[in-house]
Amino acid sequence: MNETLKVLVERRSCRKFKSQMISKDQLDAIIRAGTFAPTGMNKQTPIIIAVTNKELRDKISEENRKIGGWNEGFDPFYGAPVILIVLANKGESPNYIYDGSLVMGNLMNAAQALGVGSIWIHRAKEEFESDFGKKILSDLGIKGDFEGIGHVALGYIDEGGVKPAAPRKDNYVYWVE
């Protein structure tokens, strides 16, 4: 099977990461792949916030936990040492959610190609609508009408962190020939 197709078929969400930081070269390559995702009219409305700082990572995790309604101590990022947050500028294109979603897909597929685990975690929208998220944007000097699309948690896969693929449903594809 072609290597690209193999990556697309074999990628799974990881729910148990090692605490070890992924290499800078791997992280740079994953982020670069995200920046080459297709966007409507090539407007490139998304941005990526790469969080490797443990203190900020833990604050984001706690905010995400509160929004999700989980018990104290739960880590919605499953111990991943890296969080890539994808946001997209609502004012630049009506396609901003699709654009950001394609960036998310590229990030996760690039991670798979490099042997790095990933998972899409929601609630970025709520985080960046709050004062908590707005402060992160302000501290980074990011201006614009950005909406959180999602988080890609990244790290090396710990034992039992990935489950086998579920069977594909029978009615996934309808042919018109």
CA angle (71 as vertex; 65, 73 as ends), nearest 5 = 75
Q: How far apart, in whole angstroms, are the C-alpha atoms of residue 66 and residue 27?
A: 28
- For residue 49, CA distances in Å to 33, 125, 164 come to 14, 14, 30
Nearest to 144 by CA among 84, 88, 99: 88
Number of independent structural domains in the chain: 1
**Virtual torsion, Cα 93, 99, 101, 106, nearest 10 deg:** -160
* pTM of this structure: 0.96
Q: Would 126 be classed as within a structural domain?
A: yes
* Inter-residue contact 157 to 108 (CB < 8 Å): no
Which 8-state DSSP code applies to residue 38?
Answer: -
CATH code, 133: 3.40.109.10
Domain that holds residue 107: 3-155
Q: Would 22 be classed as within a structural domain?
A: yes
pLDDT of 163 reads: 94
Residues 72-103 pLDDT 10s: 999 999 999 999 999 999 999 999 999 999 99
* Inter-residue contact 7 to 109 (CB < 8 Å): yes
Amino acid at 68: G
Q: How far apart, in whole angstroms, are the C-alpha atoms of residue 14 and residue 5?
A: 19
Please give the biggest Cα pair distance in the chain: 55
Q: Would 92 be classed as within a structural domain?
A: yes
State what percent of residues in the chain have pLDDT above 90: 99
Q: Would 161 be classed as within a structural domain?
A: no
pLDDT of 1 reads: 83
